[in-house]
Structure 1
Amino acid sequence: MDMWGSESPAAIAWLTRQAPDKPGRAPKVFNGISKLGLPSPTGCGSSSVTGLKLQSVKVPSHQVTGESVELECNFDQEGDVLYSVKWYRGQNEFFRYIPADTPKMQIFDLPGITVDTALSDARKVTLRSVSLQSSGKYKCEVSADSPSFHTESRSAEMLVVDLPDEVPTISGGRAKYHVGDKLDVNCTSARSRPAASLMWYINDDQAESENLVEYTPVNDSDGLETSRLGLRFTVGPRHFPSGELRLRKRASIRRHTDLTITQIAENSSLAKSTVVRILKKADDTGDCGALHRGR
């Protein structure tokens, strides 16, 4: 008896089509043999298998809530007949494409997953309006039909972030500062996921850690977080290099975006006003754009 027992590969393929894998979990593998009786790609002799090859899986590492996402599964059949393409988040299957079936495409319900079938096929899956629940590890699994029945899979992580609805706010600043005054301000970045990472700048120089007051992020009932960072120091002559004391606050969400707000406190010996400017959303380089002096 050969390794297939009494069943031929063609018969096994027929049985597979008659009783497809139960959606929601990946096939179990024991000692290199799948539950269908087929050699696993991680089993003995898998290095000598030729034919279907999964070249790459492309999943955005970060995406913003409400946006669409395209998942790509790039493979080369190399003469094999494609049997199926399956997508999982974690252990849960949500997409299946079998060219020989009617319909070819099947979608399985999963929280945070909404497949746009009009923009999906064997090589790509489009997810509409992702949410925080959409975060996780995504796996594409491709399988060849008879005679090889070869299967390969690859995975990639995606984190969905929820950006703040408003720019960070500065509180506690005064209209005028004299040399020797105590400066005590806070910056708050409200309702994001994950919590924004905050940093203060004094005249474009990053503030020393000894001048920072760190607070634990506050969790809202819906899972969003509010972060706050304080700045405390005694104003000195060096803080007015051009007649102004400039405070800038930077908030970033996992390097995806930067939100910047600047407060200018002019030296009271040279001017009598304080100007607050909310700058445009900065790009990943931290470019804050032009800042105009108030009158």
Structure 2
Amino acid sequence: MSYGDKSMLSPQLIAFIYVLALSAVVIAEVVLSPSSPVALENSSLTLTCTFTGDETVTSFIWKRVKTNESSFAILGIIIAECKSFIIPVDTSLYEYSCPSSKQYTWTIRKVTKQNEGDKYQCVVEILFPKVINSNSVVIYIQVQVTNVTLKDGSTLLAGTLEVTNGVRKTLTCTASESRPTATIIWYIGDDVKKKENVTLSTLTFAPLNSYHNKQVYCKASQTAHPEVFSNRITLYVKGYIFNFFFAILSAYRFFI
């Protein structure tokens, strides 16, 4: 009997040999990181593709699908010599590097709000099982507040705002687009009057005598980003002088 004669092996033995062979196979992975990429608008973003197997990599393939598209588009094929192959890489938008034979990087030179939700994937081509897909990652773009304006209706405020003691006044604070949404904080003098996570906020207040000559303003605050302040205006409370002298007169009458 020849041991190479499979006809002489029982089905159970063949199954055992098959399972044993499978157990000796190490399943390699392709990992694209970071798994949840976050980038500030107008900055660069680098993705790293890593192959964990022992096989020789012949190429790394970079793919992207935009939110309004249904399928991945190939952005570049980078072969083992760290050169683009077949599809030329648009170096005005992207750059790539090859730190090792098992790890390549892909950099978006300048991310914009239009990159929000873009999905990236890398594919490693080897001799067997030919290609392995990485996990997919979705890009989240942070947008920093650039300006904050304080208005009375449609009028941009500056200098002094005349208000009347006890008569309610509504002002509007508007921040530029932000991701995540900034927190708008209102101040009269050093006192915080209101805060909320919006891009447009209103503050309604009844001026007090104590508000006279105090500044009213708002600011937009985002974690890990500088605070952005609105224009500041000084409150002139009408009736303040009258009430001031009335209070003195009342006090004088009390003591005589």
Q: Distance in 1 between matches of 2:23 and 2:186?
A: 55
Count of residue pairs brought into register by the alignment: 197
Match of 2:41 among 56, 64, 67: 64
Q: Distance in 2 between matches of 1:116 and 1:107?
A: 16
Counterpart code for 2:205: F
Q: Distance in 2 between matches of 1:259 and 1:129?
A: 23
Q: Distance in 1 between matches of 2:91 and 2:167?
A: 52
Shift of 1:167: 2.0
Inter-CA distance 132–64: structure 2 relative to 1 (3 Å threshold): same
Aligned counterpart, 2:228: 260
Q: Distance in 2 between matches of 1:97 and 1:110?
A: 9
Inter-CA distance 208–76: structure 2 relative to 1 (3 Å threshold): closer
Aligned counterpart, 1:288: none
Shift of 1:94: 0.6
Match of 1:184 among 170, 173, 179: 170
Aligned counterpart, 1:75: 51
Task: Indicate whether 1:89 and 2:64 are aligned.
Answer: yes
Shift of 1:261: 1.1
Moved more, 68-77 or 126-135: 126-135
Aligned counterpart, 2:123: 141
Match of 2:93 among 90, 101, 114: 114
Counterpart code for 1:230: T
Structure 2 segments unaligned to the other structure (5+ residues): 1-21, 66-71, 242-256
Aligned counterpart, 1:16: none
Q: Distance in 2 between matches of 1:50 and 1:261?
A: 57
Normalised TM-score (structure 1): 0.51
Inter-CA distance 95–205: structure 2 relative to 1 (3 Å threshold): farther
Counterpart code for 1:229: S
Helix, strand or coil for the counterpart of 2:172?
A: strand
Higher relative contact order (CA 8 A, sep 6+): 2
Tell me if the contact between 2:39 and 2:111 (Cα under 8 Å) persists in the aligned partners.
Answer: no
Shift of 1:207: 4.2
Q: Distance in 2 between matches of 1:261 and 1:96?
A: 47
Structure 1 segments unaligned to the other structure (5+ residues): 1-45, 215-226, 271-295
* Structure whose residues are more often helix by fraction: 2
Tell me if the contact between 1:56 and 1:75 (Cα under 8 Å) persists in the aligned partners.
Answer: no
Inter-CA distance 247–71: structure 2 relative to 1 (3 Å threshold): same
Helix, strand or coil for the counterpart of 1:142?
A: strand
Inter-CA distance 95–193: structure 2 relative to 1 (3 Å threshold): farther
Helix, strand or coil for the counterpart of 1:130?
A: coil
Counterpart code for 1:248: C
